[in-house]
Homo-oligomer: A and B are copies of this chain.
């Protein structure tokens, strides 16, 4: 009989991982309209952080809606479950010491409050990517604004559903005046990364 295996103190704590990585886990949460530049800034931010030897994880529609949330639609209930799962995944990454960059429209105070509550206030940095609707609509990278104007996409934020600007974001990026490179630099400066 084996008496060698007993439960131990638990899995490696966050501090050990942060020590190993030489960085602190944090969630940088981008909120803003579709086409505002959230993922573009995230990609640039990730590139700059990587050059500094820092480990990042970008979470956005591309790797979330096609993966863990592939079985969710856009009903009110599903939108809340969508954000809940995103926040839980983010929490795991942050607890692993990783700089986790989330790019989701997350249009309401309620939705963002859910994320913040799960991830934890001290690990949640809200960044408002404040790009005017006209610019987002003009870019229309995914052709969604055109569809929304034709009524082919229901409850599309900015067109047929409201976007509530965050009440007190940690940062606000006015991308009408800032490039992605500059935006990323400002975040790194502000958060002392």
Using a CB–CB cutoff of 8 Å, the interface residues on chain A facing chain B are 1-2, 4-12, 16-17, 20-21, 37, 39-44, 46-47, 50, 53, 55-60, 62-63, 67-68, 71, 81, 85, 88-89, 91-93, 96-98, 131, 135, 138, 141, 175-182
Query: Which chain B positions have C-beta within 8 A of A8?
Result: 40, 43-44, 180
Q: For the complex, what is the distance from the CA of A177 to the CA of B171, rounded to whole Å?
A: 57
Does A180 contact B5, Cβ atoms closer than 8 Å?
yes
Q: For the complex, what is the distance from the CA of A9 to the CA of B62, rounded to whole Å?
A: 13
Does B4 contact A180, Cβ atoms closer than 8 Å?
yes
A103: nearest residue on chain B (CB-CB)? B11
Query: Which chain B positions have C-beta within 8 A of A55?
Result: 17, 20-21, 55, 96-97
Does B68 contact A7, Cβ atoms closer than 8 Å?
no
Q: A16-B50, A20-B50 are in contact. Are A176 and B42 (CB under 8 A)?
A: no
A47: nearest residue on chain B (CB-CB)? B12
Which of A40, A53, A96 has the most C-beta atoms of chain B within 10 angstroms of its own C-beta? A96
Which of A40, A68, A89 has the most C-beta atoms of chain B within 10 angstroms of its own C-beta? A68
Tell me if A's interface is mostly helix, strand, loop or mixed: mixed
A100: nearest residue on chain B (CB-CB)? B96
Does B89 contact A58, Cβ atoms closer than 8 Å?
no
Query: Which chain B positions have C-beta within 8 A of A12?
Result: 43, 46-47, 50, 56, 58
Report 19 cross-chain contacts, Cβ distance below 8 Å, ordered by A residue. Answer: A4-B182, A5-B40, A5-B131, A6-B40, A11-B42, A11-B60, A11-B63, A12-B43, A12-B47, A12-B50, A12-B58, A17-B50, A55-B97, A59-B92, A63-B92, A68-B85, A68-B88, A92-B93, A93-B96
Q: For the complex, what is the distance from the CA of A44 to the CA of B63, rounded to whole Å?
A: 31
Does A7 contact B141, Cβ atoms closer than 8 Å?
yes
Does B39 contact A7, Cβ atoms closer than 8 Å?
yes
